[in-house]
Structure 1
Amino acid sequence: MSDVVLKLDGVEKFYNKDLAGEIHVLRGVDLDLKAGEMVALVAPSGAGKSTLLHIAGLLDEADVGVVEIGGKELGGTSDRRRTKARREDIGFVYQFHHLLPEFSALENISLPQMANGVSKKAAAERAQELLDTVGVAHRAHHRPAELSGGEQQRVAFCRALANKPRILLADEPTGNLDPATSDQVFDALMRLVRETGLAALVATHNMALAARMDRVVRLENGVLVDGQADAVA
């Protein structure tokens, strides 16, 4: 059985398709992401990193190509199937934490589980375990405004993994943090990935962090190429 959990094959994306100002953002992206693998996605601003993550996460559709999760083609399926796959198989983390301000850290992590049918007690237990893994268990009952930026982002990581997805997609997850906090938060992210064995694709401008991952891929002229983190400015 293949350990590839996310496969992109010949993915292309156009904006303003068939118009005079057509923009060909992705020109045949191929990627195999394996369980337990942490891959850095690097490229200059505006090169299409977020577009690629949105297609991989079934938030957007490719104009051409195949998107497979767990060996199943999901790129061109119904909204219902795509929503189900996002809820069960994919966790998202963004540059801003997007936590619900009126709920505590524990509740922010529990709510996605309860929406998936998990009991309140079981959801809270898993939330507490995840918070402990990233070193902020003592902040479980604090609301986002009472947390530091690094703590907020660690809670966001926990929320992304609450429903035990197979894939984590992260878009500049440490982009709003100072260097010292960025390192601490990235350590927490790596710990979560290693302990859960999920596959992670992390878009980042931080070349030092990219170099710590298992593999670096560069988005160059609309295609992915293997490369060193220091090759992208």
Structure 2
Amino acid sequence: MSDPILRLSGVEKSYNKGLESEVNVLGGIDLEIAAGEIVALVAPSGAGKSTLLHIAGLLDTPDAGEVAIAGEVLTGRSDRKRTSARRRDIGFIYQFHHLLPEFNAMENVSLPQLANGISRKEADARAQDLLARVGVAERADHRPAALSGGEQQRVAFCRALANAPRLLLADEPTGNLDPTTSDQVFDTLMGLVRETGLAALIATHNLDLARRMDRVLRLDAGGLTPA
């Protein structure tokens, strides 16, 4: 049996709040996500879902425990090694698209590839292909300000998948959209994930969307349980 794409083992994280108060956010989290599996993460506000996503994405380090991507333990590794793993294996999507305003849609999807050493010709070709898959190919030469909210988020999905990651981490990816657009954009995201076969951990407050994923996990009081 192959290693899970994401494995968290005994992950703990606390923050100091004032001089004498400590808040335990994650209290020994164990989680495995296989290739092709989409897992929903639901949590009350302030429960630590963003912290969990940041640790899973190698943007933050746990106080204890291990984070492994595709069988490689990356906890305690150098910043350079962790950065390399992020670029190679992990795609991120946030509630707000965070597209670069001075670049058009195709350039926003090509830039991560160029940073990873892909030629401009190859990067542009993959960007065009991804934009076509999500239905915004005809908007490739438009800057973010000229795109609708749903179009901007679709471009952000393409950017997250530009380097063909193994793991997708999304924090409220449709939370900034109206309900109709949210459903449409979520369908696009699910289609992309299914098509590419990557592992996905998607945080959402929308229980209807969560139930459409393979598993739903609830983070509360520092623990992770099936929901």
| Aligned equivalents of 1:118, 1:82: Cα separation in 2 | 20
Aligned position for 2:120: 120
Aligned position for 1:210: 210
| Aligned equivalents of 2:71, 2:180: Cα separation in 1 | 39
Contact 2:3 2:71 in 1 (8 A): no
After TM superposition, the runs of 4+ consecutive aligned structure 1 residues lying more than 4 A away are none
Structure 2 counterpart of 1:171, one-letter code: D
| 2:136 is equivalent to residue 136 of structure 1 | yes
Aligned position for 1:170: 170
Deviation at 1:102, TM superposition (A): 0.5
| Aligned equivalents of 1:184, 1:191: Cα separation in 2 | 11
Deviation at 1:76, TM superposition (A): 1.4
| Aligned equivalents of 2:140, 2:3: Cα separation in 1 | 34
Aligned position for 2:106: 106
Contact 1:133 1:191 in 2 (8 A): no
Aligned position for 1:95: 95
Deviation at 1:18, TM superposition (A): 10
| Aligned equivalents of 1:155, 1:21: Cα separation in 2 | 42
Contact 1:6 1:34 in 2 (8 A): yes
Structure 1 counterpart of 2:179, one-letter code: P
3-state secondary structure, aligned to 1:225:
strand
| Aligned equivalents of 2:18, 2:37: Cα separation in 1 | 38
3-state secondary structure, aligned to 1:164:
coil
Unaligned runs of 5+ in 1: 228-233
Structure 1 counterpart of 2:115, one-letter code: A
Deviation at 1:160, TM superposition (A): 0.4
Aligned position for 1:10: 10
Q: Percent identity?
A: 73
TM-score by length of 1: 0.95
3-state secondary structure, aligned to 2:170:
strand
| Aligned equivalents of 1:40, 1:76: Cα separation in 2 | 27
Unaligned runs of 5+ in 2: none
Structure 2 counterpart of 1:12, one-letter code: E
| 2:153 is equivalent to residue 153 of structure 1 | yes
Aligned position for 2:31: 31
TM-score by length of 2: 0.98
Deviation at 1:95, TM superposition (A): 0.5
* Alpha-carbon displacement from aligned partner over 1:103-148 (angstroms, at most 9, x marks no partner): 0100000011011111111101100111111111111110000000
| 2:49 is equivalent to residue 49 of structure 1 | yes
| Aligned equivalents of 1:209, 1:141: Cα separation in 2 | 31
* Alpha-carbon displacement from aligned partner over 1:184-225 (angstroms, at most 9, x marks no partner): 110110011011000000000011100100100000211111
Structure 2 counterpart of 1:123, one-letter code: A
Contact 1:3 1:35 in 2 (8 A): no
Deviation at 1:19, TM superposition (A): 4.8
| Aligned equivalents of 2:45, 2:17: Cα separation in 1 | 22
- Does the C-alpha gap of structure 1 residues 21 and 144 become closer, same or farther in structure 2, counting only changes over 3 Å? same
Aligned position for 1:22: 22
Q: How many residues align?
A: 227
Structure 2 counterpart of 1:182, one-letter code: S
| 2:75 is equivalent to residue 75 of structure 1 | yes
| Aligned equivalents of 1:33, 1:183: Cα separation in 2 | 24
- Does the C-alpha gap of structure 1 residues 177 and 17 become closer, same or farther in structure 2, counting only changes over 3 Å? closer
* Root-mean-square deviation (Å): 1.1
